[in-house]
Structure 1
Amino acid sequence: MPLQAVRPKILGFISEQASAWLVALVVLLAGFALTAVVAWAAADLYQQQVRQRFQLLVNERYSRLQERFDDQEQRLNSLRRFFVNSDDVSREEFDGFAQPLLLRARAYSWAPRVYREQRGQFEKAVSAQRGTPFVICELNSTGELAPAPERDEYVPVLYSQTQSLLGAPLGFDLLAQPLRRSVLERAQNTGKLAVSQPMQLVGVEPDYATGVLLVAPVSHLPTSDQSQNEPYGYVMAVISMRQLVADGLPKPDRDNLVMQIVDTSDVQKRVLFESGNAVASSDLVGARRLTLGDHVYALTLRPSQVFDQANHSSLSTILTMGGLLSLLLSALLYVLVSQRQRALKLVEQRTAQLRLREQELRGAHGQLRSVLNAATQVAIIATDLRGVINTFNAGAEQMLGFKAEQVVGTHTLESLHLASELEARSASLSVALGKRIPASQAMLVESPDNLHQAREWTLVREDRSQLTVNMLATVLLDDHGLWIGHLAIYLDITEQKRAYEALAARDRLLKKLSAHVPGGIFQFTLEPQDNWKFIYASDGMRDIYEIETGVLQQDAKKVFERIHPLDAERVRASIRLSALQLSHWREEYRVLLPQRGLRWIRGEATPEELPGGGTLWHGYVSDISDLKRVEEELRALSITDSLTGIHNRRYFQDRLKAEMVRLNRTSGALSVIMLDIDHFKRINDQHGHAVGDGVLQELCKRISQRLRRTDVFCRLGGEEFMVLCPHTDGAQAYSLAMELWASLRSVPMEPVGIVTASFGVASWRVDEGIDGLLLRADSAVYVAKQAGRDRVEAQSVC
Structure 2
Amino acid sequence: MTLRQQTMSSAIRAAAGRQHRSAACWTRRGVMSDSPVPGDPKEAVMDVPDKNQDTPSAIVQARQQAEERLQVSEARCRLLAENASDVIWTMSLDGQITYVSPSVERLRGFTPEEAMRQPLEDILTPPSVAITLDYLSRMAALLQSGRSPERTRNELEYRCKDGSTIWCDVHVLPVFAANGTPVELLGMSRDITALKRAESEAKRSAEFIRKMLQDLPVAIAVASLESDQRILYRNSAFDRLFGWTPQEIPTHEEWFERAYPDEDYRRAVLDRWTAALAQAAAQQGQVTPHEFRVTSRDGQVKDIVIGGTILDDRLICSFVDVSVRKRVEAELVQARDAAETANRALSKANAELQRLAVTDHLTGVWNRSYFEDALAAQIARAVRDGVPVSLLLLDLDCFKAINDTHGHLVGDRILIELPRVIGRHLREVDVLARWGGEEFVILMPHRGAREAMHAAETLRALVAARTFPEVGTVTVSVGVAEYRPHESDDAWIKQADDALYAAKTGGRNRVCLADRDMG
- TM-score between both structures, scaled by the size of structure 1: 0.27
If asked which structure has higher relative contact order (CA below 8 Å, sep 6+), I would say 2
- TM-score between both structures, scaled by the size of structure 2: 0.39
Q: Which has the larger radius of gyration?
A: 1
